[in-house]
Amino acid sequence: MKKRYHSYSDYFREHFGERIQKLTIDAGFTCPNRDGKVGRGGCAYCNNDAFNPSYNTPQKSITQQLEEGIEFHRVRYRKANRYLAYFQAYSNTYAPLERLSAAYEEALAVPGVIGLVIGTRPDCVNDEILDYLASFDCRVAVEYGIESCYDRTLERINRGHNFAQSVEAIENTAKRGIQTGAHLIFGLPGESREEMLAEAAIINQLPLNTLKMHQLQIPVHTAFARQYAEHPEDFQLFDCAEYIDFVVQFLELLRPDLVVERFANEMPPRYLAGKGWGKIRNVELWRMLEKRLEELNTWQGKGFELKV
């Protein structure tokens, strides 16, 4: 049955004819918001340990991480035979090109790996890096952490770049034919529901192929954790049902060709400083979203289609 949103799994089946599994990698890169180039301490919500799989550690080689990931997913997702190497932790274009090329090419040498997904910041790419990525004859995608379309929010969360930099990086990447993705966080302090919904129209204007979204969670050992302990009233965290309804509204405004890779995030309870949603897994959240879309007889792009 056709889904009421443009799903990542359907996107891969359309292009490859089968399930493709992403395998995360921690290649030991850092971030300009941590090493002092633009800031210290990282973004206010950042704790990479909260979402890195246990087999991801820079003490292991990229090859070993991928081989362990393949074995893990071979048991969990037996339908996956081909893989994308996902450079996830921190900013994975933040190094000299010589180091980047060695890391990427090591990943592509692992049997079964057919492409790269590179997570990074919009202030960590340049023409040299993008030209190099465009030279590959395999699938390469770059995912940018936009987080918010509003500069006041980016400043509030200690992001270290502005939205104009996000737009420039996305446009420079897409024009080279590189698959381009973005990431948004909903529920950041100071943003109203109306402002968050308005981001759909902004995103629609960008040359993006994929979009990741998730609700704000407050991991331990972060600036937000300290702020939440002192002033919890500053944080309006979504409960689960409320967030599902919000995402339905957002999807209605989103252009229908944009691939929705993720709409929510799960985090082990031991990493949460703020309230969570218990033990609900991502697969359950997808089912809840699909059920709600069906109940309301709505779909991704419904509102967008009415406007064009």
Give DSSP secondary structure letters for 175-219. TTT-EEEEEEEES-TT--HHHHHHHHHHHHTS--SEEEEEE---B
Give the pLDDT band (50/70/90) at residue 96: very high
Q: Is residue 239 part of a domain?
A: no
Q: What pLDDT score does 252 carry?
A: 97
The C-alpha atoms of residue 244 and residue 71 are separated, in whole angstroms, by 33
Weakest mean pLDDT among 78-82, 161-165, 218-222: 78-82
Weakest mean pLDDT among 164-168, 220-224, 248-252, 293-297: 220-224
pLDDT of 49 over the 80 cut? no
Q: What pLDDT score does 23 carry?
A: 94
Q: Is residue 138 part of a domain?
A: yes
Do β-strands 139-147 and 113-120 pair in parallel, antiparallel, or remain unpaired?
A: parallel
**Residues 227-234: contacts with CB within 8 Å, 24+ apart?**
227/44, 228/273, 228/274, 229/273, 232/274, 234/189
Query: Max alpha carbon distance in the chain (Å)?
Result: 52
Q: What is the length of the chain? A: 308
- Residue 98 belongs to what domain range? 8-215+253-264
The C-alpha atoms of residue 285 and residue 278 are separated, in whole angstroms, by 12
Q: Is residue 232 part of a domain?
A: no
Instruction: Name the percent of the chain lying above pLDDT 90.
Output: 71
DSSP letter assigned to residue 304: H
pLDDT of 51 over the 80 cut? no
Q: What pLDDT score does 1 carry?
A: 59
Mean predicted lDDT score pLDDT of the chain:
92
pLDDT of 77 over the 70 cut? no
pLDDT of 308 over the 60 cut? no
Angle at 6 (CA atoms; ends 5, 8), nearest 5 degrees = 125
Q: Is residue 234 part of a domain?
A: no
Are 186 and 238 spatial neighbours (Cβ–Cβ below 8 Å)?
Answer: yes
Weakest mean pLDDT among 2-16, 66-80, 273-287: 66-80
pLDDT digits (tens, 9 = 90+) for 112-158: 999 999 999 999 999 999 999 999 999 999 999 999 999 999 999 99
Model-level pTM? 0.93
Q: For position 154, which CATH number holds? A: 3.20.20.70
pLDDT of 171 over the 60 cut? yes
Q: What pLDDT score does 35 carry?
A: 84
Q: Is residue 162 part of a domain?
A: yes
pLDDT of 160 over the 60 cut? yes
Q: Is residue 295 part of a domain?
A: no
pLDDT of 2 over the 90 cut? no
pLDDT of 307 over the 70 cut? no
Instruction: Name the percent of the chain lying above pLDDT 70.
Output: 95
**For residues 35-44, average pLDDT:** 86
| Greater pLDDT, 201 or 74 | 201
Torsional sign, CA 208, 118, 148, 214: positive
**For residues 233-248, average pLDDT:** 94
For residue 87, what is the enclosing H or E element? strand 82-87
How many domains does the structure of the chain reveal? 1
Q: Is residue 158 part of a domain?
A: yes
pLDDT of 244 over the 70 cut? yes
Give the pLDDT band (50/70/90) at residue 58: confident
Q: Is residue 156 part of a domain?
A: yes
